[in-house]
Amino acid sequence: RVERTLAMVKPDAFKHLGKILNAISQSGFRINNLRVCQLRKEEAETFYAVHRGKPFFEKLTTFMSSGRIAAIELVAPGAISKWRELIGPTDSNKARAEAPNSIRAHFGTDGSFNAVHGSDATDTAAEEIRFFFSQPSLGKCDLGR
Ligand code: CMP
């Protein structure tokens, strides 16, 4: 079943974007859309609204608005679980122990600064793709527009 998912390269791994795109391409995804942005704090809060009220919310949204990110719409059979498999566990230290070839194992630091994001289900994937690709006025995107 062909699916779409929203992959994001976070500010801590933006300098590795080229290598991450290469890994994506080598893994058989089609890149349907890509946008480079720096999110406003309020936009990071909206994207991660499901985590509002959690102890790490402030740290997460400050981090996610601290520099450029790349939002990437990926298409493949089983894209959601396929991308989550490629990135490894949320905590980069766990990723190094359990999935040493994963993207988080290579480029993440810990459970907060973990290099990449992936949608967790079809409904959130659709919502996250809409967030990045149906909002022309989002943050500072696309050649600083
Ligand atoms: P992500 O896959 O983008 O989804 C939510 C993010 O919140 C997660 O990656 C981490 O960056 C962050 N996060 C999740 N759990 C914690 C935690 N316990 N402490 C700090 N940050 C977390």
In a domain? residue 41: yes
3-state secondary structure of 130: helix
The range of the structural domain enclosing residue 80 comes to 2-135
Q: Among candidates 75, 80, 71, which has minimal Cα distance to 133?
A: 71
Confirm whether residue 35 is marked as ligand binding. Answer: no
Exposure of 88 in the CB half-sphere (CA atoms within 13 A): 23
DSSP alpha helix (H) spans, the chain = 17-26, 41-47, 57-64, 79-87, 92-98, 103-107, 122-133
**pTM of the prediction?**
0.96
> What distance in angstroms lies between residue 61's CA and the mean position of ligand 1's atoms?
10
Query: Total domain count for the chain?
Result: 1
In a domain? residue 141: no
46: left (phi over 0), alpha (psi -120 to 50) or beta: alpha
User: Is residue 16 annotated as part of the catalytic site, yes or no?
Assistant: no
Atom of ligand 1 nearest to the CA of 8: 3
Q: What is the CATH number of the domain that holds 122?
A: 3.30.70.141
d(CA 53, CA 13) in angstroms, rounded, equals 26
Task: Report residues whose beta carbon is within 6 angstroms of any ligand 1 atom.
Answer: 56, 60, 90, 111-112, 114, 117
What are the tens digits of pLDDT across the range 72-81?
999 999 999 9
In a domain? residue 145: no
> What distance in angstroms lies between residue 57's CA and the mean position of ligand 1's atoms?
8
In a domain? residue 140: no
Instruction: Mention every residue, 6+ apart, whose C-beta is less than 8 A from residue 98.
Output: 88, 89
In a domain? residue 40: yes
Confirm whether residue 68 is marked as ligand binding. Answer: no
In a domain? residue 27: yes
In a domain? residue 76: yes
What are the tens digits of pLDDT across the range 109-127?
999 999 999 999 999 999 9
Q: Among candidates 119, 109, 117, which has minimal Cα distance to 64?
A: 117
d(CA 110, CA 113) in angstroms, rounded, equals 6
d(CA 102, CA 122) in angstroms, rounded, equals 22
Q: For position 74, what pLDDT does the model report?
A: 98
d(CA 4, CA 112) in angstroms, rounded, equals 25
For a mutational test of ligand 1's pocket, the pick from 45, 60, 63, i.e. the residue with the most ligand atoms closer than 8 A to its C-beta, is 60
In a domain? residue 123: yes
> What distance in angstroms lies between residue 89's CA and the mean position of ligand 1's atoms?
11
Q: For position 143, what pLDDT does the model report?
A: 63
> What average pLDDT does the chain have?
96
